[in-house]
């Protein structure tokens, strides 16, 4: 016997179905792609779908880059790497179906609590090396490793994402080296900057060393106001140690952040390091999984076998009680009804008893003085920052949901830009929204158990 799940009705909206997936809210948006949450209509399994516009890809000559990203993710089947589940295409778009990772960026964890404990930092570093070494064994080199590209799943395990700058064997020149300068300056190896050719494996390991330093210190080892000053410090591996650094971690990081790639420690040597080995458990998975890349070319060729139909469906959107609870970490509803000055994740929620129109109007009035352009459509808004930040313009989307008569939930989501800048923006925006935010009454003592 099954029990009906109580649902909270909402107004009719148009939903998009692609193949066997119902598309949901937008998780992030960039120049060439949009990522949406989706649900498989048969299994109910939640996934993330990266949607790319074919015309834009062709116009900007990005076909080979997209093929490489898809091929890379299909080659790498590892527990600590975001999994590519399937690839589809319509006549106008490409759909990359990915594992849906719910724990946010590792960067957010550092931004919120500062440095991690030695044991936590070691655990994440062990998972990082495990995954990176496996990628290298498959001749895949990430080339943009940083905390922003390291996600956490529901169990707190690491998931490497964003293989858009990765390299495959066919990109090596006759000298056996890579020559494209890419990556994020603070994390890039000195040999990459010098533009004389580099090994993808040793360059990735340098980035891993910078990440380990950040996990344990709470800040970057190399950071200067100008690029040239930054590069000088990276060339020389010139950085200082905070007093709380344990000697074992110091010795290991010193061997990783060796400016000479020929003498830099290898992954095999890292596995033998005493500090690294403490509590280490190798990932368990099928290392010989078969990989088929036939569909990678097919999605660009217009092959009917891989074409899916994209159709709109108008139906009621419902948010049942279990979905509402799942939006709050630890099944604790209190975080849905309390605002915080610094959001813990890149999606932030609050509730209001004001009307939806009043909420939209209040957000617009609070955002414009902060230097944000506002685009509105129904009960959705996109806030675009005027100023160019560390990672481009900050872009934030908002949406208002009706969860009960005269009770609305508002969700804010960072689409692009720097996470710390988003935290600063949210703190200032929340000051202008005090009149519309509703906080739940505290539970009676007997119900707080």
Q: Is 50 annotated as a binding residue?
A: yes
Helix axes 294-301, 63-75, angle to 10 degrees: 150
Up-side HSE of residue 28: CA atoms within 13 Å toward CB?
Answer: 18
CA distances from 345 to 98, 340, 348 (A): 20, 11, 7
Query: Does the annotation mark 144 as catalytic?
Result: yes
In total, the chain counts a number of residues equal to: 449
Going by C-beta distance under 8 Å and a sequence separation of 6 or more, which residues neighbour residue 99? 47, 48, 82, 83, 84, 85, 159
Q: How far is CA 288 from the centre of its chain?
A: 27
SS3 163: coil
Catalytic member of 144, 204, 258, 418: 144
Asked if 71 contacts 123 with a C-beta cutoff of 8 angstroms, the reply is: no
Asked if 23 contacts 17 with a C-beta cutoff of 8 angstroms, the reply is: yes
Residue 132 sits at the vertex; the CA angle it makes with 32 and 38, to the nearest 5 degrees, is 40
Asked if 324 contacts 336 with a C-beta cutoff of 8 angstroms, the reply is: yes
Q: How far is CA 150 from the centre of its chain?
A: 7
Burial environment of residue 261 by CB neighbours within 10 A (0 to 12, 13 to 18, 19 or more):
middle
DSSP 73-132: HHH---TTBPPEEEEEE-SSEEEEEEE---S-BHHHHHHHH-SPPHHHHHHHHHHHHHHH
Binding positions: 50
Active site residues: 144
Annotated binding-site residues for ATP read 50
């Amino acid at each position: 016997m099954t029990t009906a799940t109580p649902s909270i009705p909402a107004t009719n909206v148009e939903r998009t179905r692609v193949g066997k997936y119902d598309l949901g809210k937008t998780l992030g948006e960039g120049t060439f792609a949009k990522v949406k949450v989706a649900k498989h209509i048969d299994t109910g399994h939640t996934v993330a779908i990266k949607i790319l516009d074919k015309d834009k890809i062709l116009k900007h000559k990005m076909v080979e880059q997209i093929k490489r990203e898809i091929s890379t993710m299909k080659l790498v089947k590892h527990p600590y790497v975001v999994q590519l589940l399937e690839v589809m295409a319509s006549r106008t778009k490409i759909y990359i179906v990915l594992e849906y990772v719910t724990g946010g960026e590792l960067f957010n964890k550092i931004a919120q609590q500062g440095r991690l404990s030695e044991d936590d930092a070691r655990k994440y570093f062990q998972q990082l090396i495990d995954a990176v070494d496996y990628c290298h064994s498959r001749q895949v080199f990430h080339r943009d490793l940083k905390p922003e590209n390291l996600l956490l799943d529901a169990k707190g395990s690491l998931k490497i994402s964003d293989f858009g700058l990765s390299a495959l064997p066919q990109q090596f020149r006759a000298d056996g080296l890579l020559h494209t300068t890419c990556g994020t300056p603070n994390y890039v190896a000195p040999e990459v900057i010098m533009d004389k050719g580099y090994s993808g494996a040793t360059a990735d390991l340098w980035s891993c060393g910078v990440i380990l330093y950040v996990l344990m210190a709470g800040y970057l080892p190399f950071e200067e106001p100008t690029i040239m000053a930054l590069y000088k410090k990276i060339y020389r591996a010139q950085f200082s140690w905070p007093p709380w650094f344990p000697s074992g971690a110091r010795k290991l990081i010193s061997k990783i952040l060796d400016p000479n790639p020929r003498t830099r420690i290898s992954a095999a040597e890292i596995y033998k390091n005493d500090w690294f080995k403490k509590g280490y458990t190798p990932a368990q998975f099928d290392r010989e999984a078969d990989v088929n890349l036939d569909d990678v070319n097919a999605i660009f060729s217009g092959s009917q076998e891989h074409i899916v139909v994209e159709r709109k469906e108008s139906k009621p959107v419902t948010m049942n009680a279990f979905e509402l609870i799942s939006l709050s970490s630890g099944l604790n509803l209190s975080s849905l009804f309390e605002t915080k000055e610094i959001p813990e994740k890149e999606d932030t929620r609050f509730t209001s008893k004001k009307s939806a129109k009043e909420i939209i109007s209040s957000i617009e009035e609070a955002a414009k003085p902060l230097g944000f352009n506002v685009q509105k459509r129904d009960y959705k808004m996109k806030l675009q920052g005027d100023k160019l930040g560390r990672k481009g313009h900050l872009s934030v989307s908002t949406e208002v949901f009706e969860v009960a008569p005269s009770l609305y939930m508002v969700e804010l989501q960072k689409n692009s830009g720097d996470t710390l800048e988003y935290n600063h923006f949210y703190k200032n925006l929340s000051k202008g929204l005090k009149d519309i935010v509703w906080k739940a009454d505290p539970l009676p003592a007997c119900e707080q158990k």
